[in-house]
C-alpha cells in the first residue's frame, strides 16, 4: 500500500474530504460569537444570551475534542447543530416583515445552517477515525 493511501484524511459524510482548516471553524465561530453576545447583553436580551452561551460552550467543547481527535466529538457536534438549527428557526419565526425577515433568512442560510452541517460532518469524521 502506498503512503498516499495511508495518509489520506477520512471523508466527510457526503463523501467529500474536508480541508484541514475546517477543524478550526468551531473555535473561530466561538470567538466570532463573543461580540454578538456583548451586544445582546447590553440590550438585556437574556433568553438570546443564554442560547448563544450554550452555542459557545458547545462550539468550544467540539473544538477541544477535535483537537484531541476524540470520537466523542460527535456529541457536541450534534448539540451545536441542534442549537444552531433551533436558533435559525426561532429567528425566522419571530422576525418581522421586511429587512428583519431578510436578515434572519440570510443568517440562517449563510451562517447558522452551514455551520451546523460542518459541525456534524466534523463530528462524524472524528467518530469514524
Question: How far is it, in rounded angstroms, from Cα 120 to Cα 118?
Answer: 5
Stated pTM of the model: 0.84
Mean pLDDT of 15-31: 90
Mean pLDDT of 81-105: 95
- Grade residue 40 by pLDDT with cuts at 50, 70 and 90: very high
Mean pLDDT of 79-106: 95
Choose the weakest-confidence range: 9-13, 54-58, 69-73, 74-78. 9-13
**Res 1: pLDDT:** 44
- Write out the three cell numbers for 10: 477520512
**Res 71: pLDDT:** 95
**Res 16: pLDDT:** 58
> What residues does each domain of the chain span?
22-128
* Cα radius of gyration rounded to whole Å, the chain: 16
Dihedral sign for Cα 47, 75, 33, 12, please.
negative
Amino acid at each position: 500500500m502506498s503512503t498516499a493511501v495511508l495518509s489520506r484524511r477520512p471523508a466527510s459524510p457526503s463523501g467529500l474530504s474536508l480541508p484541514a482548516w475546517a477543524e478550526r471553524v468551531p473555535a473561530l465561530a466561538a470567538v466570532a460569537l463573543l461580540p454578538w453576545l456583548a451586544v445582546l447583553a447590553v440590550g438585556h436580551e437574556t433568553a438570546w444570551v443564554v442560547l448563544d452561551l450554550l452555542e459557545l460552550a458547545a462550539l468550544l467543547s467540539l473544538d477541544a475534542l477535535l483537537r484531541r481527535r476524540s470520537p466523542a466529538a460527535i456529541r457536541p457536534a450534534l448539540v451545536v447543530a441542534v442549537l444552531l438549527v433551533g436558533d435559525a428557526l426561532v429567528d425566522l419565526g419571530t422576525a418581522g416583515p421586511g429587512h428583519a425577515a431578510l436578515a434572519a433568512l440570510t443568517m440562517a442560510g449563510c451562517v447558522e445552517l452551514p455551520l451546523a452541517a460542518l459541525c456534524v460532518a466534523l463530528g462524524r469524521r472524528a467518530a469514524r477515525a
